[in-house]
Structure formats: structure tokens, C-alpha cells
Chains A and B, each alone.
Chain A
Amino acid sequence: ETGVTQTPRHLVMGMTNKKSLKCEQHLGHNAMYWYKQSAKKPLELMFVYNFKEQTENNSVPSRFSPECPNSSHLFLHLHTLQPEDSALYLCASSQVSGTTGELFFGEGSRLTVL
């Protein structure tokens, strides 16, 4: 139990579907992140939110749309995805100031796009 909860744990969707991934952190952190983990590739940073403001969009296609309504919740809205988007999507949180590089990750949402 890391204090970061992701739902759903598994998601299968067609290329024309619209779905959302949800992340909630109970650690009092003020920064939240989305990472993509594909087989045989390093973790890729997708988005960073500091105090609910997006500070990083790592050239992510617009079919991925993040939303951060408050410091504790982060969503990733998915629409018209491609099969190559199948991956494990990891949410993480941390403190913004004086950060030591310690990110607290959730267990991930395993996405399969058919």
C-alpha cells in the first residue's frame, strides 16, 4: 500500500471507445504524474501536474487527455486509441519543493487496445 490508488487495474477497449483512468493519492503530495510502461521500454513520463497545473506534456498524442481537478486526483481520458497504446499506465505523486526524486507509484492500470 503506497498511498496511491489507481482504477481500474485492467481495461480492455476498442479503438473507438472513450474511457478514463483514475488516480487518487492519500499522501498530501502536491505533484502528480502519469507514466507509460511498455514492454522492453523504459518508463516514459507523459504528464506532470504541480499544484493542479500542468507543467509537462512530453509530446503525448492528443488522444490522451489528462485532468487534475485537485492535488489528490488525477485522470487520464482516453479516446480513439491505437493498439500500440496498449501498456501499463502508472500514476505517481510526490512533493514539489525539496523533492528528493522519490516518487510514490500506484499499482498501475493495464490497458489493452483491440
Chain B
Amino acid sequence: GQQLNQSPQSMFIQEGEDVSMNCTSSSIFNTWLWYKQDPGEGPVLLIALYKAGELTSNGRLTAQFGITRKDSFLNISASIPSDVGIYFCAVPGRGGATNKLIFGTGTLLAVQP
């Protein structure tokens, strides 16, 4: 089945630093989603991309399609301690079903105050 590979697997940064992570697949997708999972919680949707070439921001977070539409990037500016968590990308499952998401392997972010 489809696999989404995220890199890096983990990041340990200082508060205030900018962060960039990406997600790649072997197929083209026209919808990319980024979720965050806080420790002890379920994932929460952060940003959704629905149009090729789209760049979407949500506060300090920015997500965009890659040029080939086989990848997506998530950037966090001026990180703060509450940014700690696991970030997952997700794409629609078989037939473009957005209610049957495929999730990536995750990027663990740790922020040192």
C-alpha cells in the first residue's frame, strides 16, 4: 500500500528556532494534511492543502505542496515549547477518500526552552 515517509524522524531544537519538515510519497496527491499529536493526546488537524501549488498559513505554521505534488512541507517559525509533539502528514486513501486517510511515519519535535 501507499507509504508516506517523513523526515527528519526527530528534531531537537532551541526555542525561537525555525523548523522545517517534509513528507514524501510515491504517488501524486491533490490533498495534503498536517496533523499534530501532543503527548498523551490524539492527533489534531493543523493545516490542509487542497490545491496544487497552494501555500497555506496558520499562525506560525506554513504548509505547501512540493513541485511534483508527491511531497509536502511544513514550516514552523520561531518555535515555542508548546510546539513539542509528533507531526504527521496525511493523504486521502483509495479513490481519494478523505475519510480513509493514510498517515505518515511522523516527525518528533522537541523544543528546548
Contact = CB atoms under 8 A, between A and B. Distances in A.
A50 B100 CA distance: 11
Contact of A43 (B33, B92, B98, B103): B103
A90 B101 contact: no
B104 A42 contact: yes
Contacts of A108: 41-42
A28 B94 CA distance: 26
A36 B88 CA distance: 14
A24 B51 CA distance: 33
Interface string B6-48: 0000000000000000000000000101000000111111001
Most chain B beta-carbon contacts within 10 A, residue among A48, A96, A102, A108: A102
Contacts of A106: 42
Which DSSP category, helix, strand, loop or mixed, fits chain B's interface?
Answer: loop
A105 B48 contact: no
Nearest to B32: A101
Interface string A66-97: 00000000000000000000000010101010
A101 B45 contact: yes
Interface in B76-105: 88, 90, 92-93, 98-105
Contact of A101 (B31, B42, B44, B104): B31
Nearest to B9: A40
B88 A43 contact: yes
Contacts of B88: 42-43
Given A101-B45, A108-B41, 11 more contacts: A33-B99, A42-B104, A45-B102, A96-B99, A100-B50, A101-B48, A102-B45, A103-B43, A105-B44, A107-B40, A107-B42
The 4 A-B pairs of least Cβ separation, nearest first, read A105-B42, A101-B98, A43-B103, A102-B45
18 contacts: A4-B42, A40-B105, A42-B105, A42-B106, A43-B88, A43-B103, A45-B100, A45-B101, A48-B99, A90-B43, A100-B50, A101-B45, A102-B33, A102-B45, A102-B48, A103-B99, A105-B43, A108-B41
